[in-house]
A and B are shown apart, each in its own frame.
Chain A
Amino acid sequence: MRTEEKIITRSRNRHKRLDAFQRILLLLVICLTTLLGSIIWTMPENPPGLADAVALMQEHSGVKSPVTAVLLNFRGYDTLLEVMVLLLAVIGAWSLAKAHFPQQEREANPVQMGVVRLLVPLMFLVAAYLVWQGSHLAGGAFQGGAILGAAGVLMLVTELPCLRAIPAHPLRIGLVLGPLIFVGVALFCLFLTGDLLGYPEETAGWLILLIEAGCAISIGLTLASLFAGGHPEDERPKNQEQAKGPCKGERP
């Protein structure tokens, strides 16, 4: 208890003056910064990068955008594990708490409803466009998924009544859809070409687009579920599932 109060007083007096601990800490941080800064200062003028290697293999990757090629072809393994990390984050969030949105049936604000009605279809369109655009310009699964997640957050904030009626299973399936497609394609390629995620060259573009579409849906649902902040209630017959699966229910 004493230490806690000390910390409280310390941070309350922070603006007046730093105590001894904070001065030492400031000194250490400045030392670290100076050292790292000298390292950055002495970095070579033209560091050897992988730009040439990527450009060399670009035409075999199936996509025209170098970042998408790196993400889903050359370093596809990283992205696969990253999608798994997102899934783990949702599992962690679901094990912590129930979704904490208000339980009472409430009329949605008409202004908010109007905004949702206008914006959400547009956001789905933009997300689909970004996923498709990822093959030749800036864009891809993460950007599209982020837009989908933002649409989900918008609907959760508005507390749409129809969100309460969505059953739990589509949400779970949607959450694992991207990872499942990714693993499925990886295994398919393993049987076909002998390499995990070694796409056959002529179908690489389509396989990447398939993975991206699945991952965008899963990422959007993941982000919306993380915003809802807890697992949905499966058992209760009424007032259930209001805080989840918004994208799934509304997706055309």
Chain B
Amino acid sequence: MITTLLYSMTGLILFAMGLFTLIIHSHPLRKILAVNVMSTGVFLILVAAAYKPLGLGKIDPVPHAMVLTGIVVSVSVTALALLLACRVQETSNLDLLERRKQEARPKESNQ
């Protein structure tokens, strides 16, 4: 029981830290890392709820299967999000670039 509580609380704190970071940081990679930490926290709570000490009954395999599914999906979602972030960065800073060229360094030409 204490083990379950300990790991559940850890998962909860991980979730909260991830949520806070997700909102206050502006860098896309940091946001994706934060989402990953959040999902890890949720998985930890799920698995901890199914935990039983050795010799005190069977472990519920259904949360394990759900977490397994969730891990694989979260990896593929992370990959897609990273690709989107790269794509956004490659395509959407052009207006910033134009502005910067006009304001600060008009001599600089690139691409």
**Are A and B in contact, CB atoms below 8 Å, in the complex?**
yes
Q: Chain A: residues with CB nearer than 8 A to chain B?
A: 1, 4, 7-8, 10-11, 14, 22, 25-26, 29-30, 32-33, 36-37, 40-41, 43, 45-47, 49-52, 54-55, 66-67, 69-71, 75, 78-79, 82, 85-86, 89, 92-93, 96-97, 140, 142, 145-146, 219, 222-223, 226-227, 229-230
The one of A55, A79, A142 that contacts B58, using a Cβ cutoff of 8 Å:
A55
Chain B: how many interface residues by the 8 Å CB criterion? 43
Task: Decide: A82 near B73, CB < 8 A? Known: A47-B49, A97-B83.
Answer: yes
State the CA gap A22–B23 with chains docked (Å).
9
Q: Mark B70-86, 1 if CB is under 8 A from A, else 0.
A: 01110111011001101
| Interface presence of B50 (CB below 8 A) | yes
| Interface presence of B59 (CB below 8 A) | yes
A216 to chain B, nearest CB (A): 12
* Secondary structure dominating the interface of B: helix
B65 to chain A, nearest CB (A): 4
State the CA gap A81–B59 with chains docked (Å).
25
A31 to chain B, nearest CB (A): 10
State the CA gap A40–B16 with chains docked (Å).
14
- Chain B: which residue is nearest A83 at the CB level? B72
State the CA gap A54–B77 with chains docked (Å).
30
Q: Across the A-B interface, give the 9 residue pairs with the lowest CB-CB distance, nearest first.
A: A49-B60, A226-B79, A66-B61, A89-B76, A51-B58, A70-B65, A33-B16, A51-B60, A7-B26
State the CA gap A59–B80 with chains docked (Å).
39
| Interface presence of B33 (CB below 8 A) | no
Residue pair A230, B83 in contact (C-beta under 8 Å): yes
Which of B15, B61, B73 has the most A CB atoms < 10 Å from its CB? B61
Task: Decide: A11 near B26, CB < 8 A? Known: A70-B61, A219-B72.
Answer: yes
The one of B9, B60, B83 that contacts A40, using a Cβ cutoff of 8 Å:
B9
A198 to chain B, nearest CB (A): 18
B46-74 interface (Cβ within 8 A of A): 49-50, 57-62, 64-66, 68-69, 71-73
| Interface presence of B1 (CB below 8 A) | yes
Q: A43-B49, A85-B73 are in contact. List 13 more A-B contacts (CB 8 A).
A: A10-B24, A29-B16, A32-B16, A36-B12, A45-B1, A49-B50, A52-B58, A67-B61, A69-B61, A70-B64, A75-B62, A89-B77, A226-B76
Question: Which residues of chain B come closer than 8 Å to A79, judged between CB atoms?
Answer: 69
Residue pair A37, B62 in contact (C-beta under 8 Å): no
- Chain A: which residue is nearest B18 at the CB level? A29
Residue pair B9, A226 in contact (C-beta under 8 Å): no
Question: Which residues of chain A come closer than 8 Å to B76, judged between CB atoms?
Answer: 85-86, 89, 222-223, 226
Q: Mark B10-46, 1 if CB is under 8 A from A, else 0.
A: 0011011001100111110000000000000000010
Between-chain CB contacts (< 8 Å), 28 pairs: A11-B27, A14-B24, A29-B19, A30-B16, A32-B19, A36-B12, A36-B15, A37-B9, A40-B9, A49-B60, A50-B60, A51-B60, A55-B58, A67-B61, A67-B68, A69-B61, A71-B68, A78-B65, A85-B73, A86-B72, A92-B83, A97-B87, A142-B69, A142-B72, A145-B72, A219-B72, A226-B76, A226-B79
A94 to chain B, nearest CB (A): 10
Task: Decide: A1 near B16, CB < 8 A? Known: A52-B58, A55-B58, A78-B69.
Answer: no
Question: Which residues of chain B come closer than 8 Å to A219, judged between CB atoms?
Answer: 72
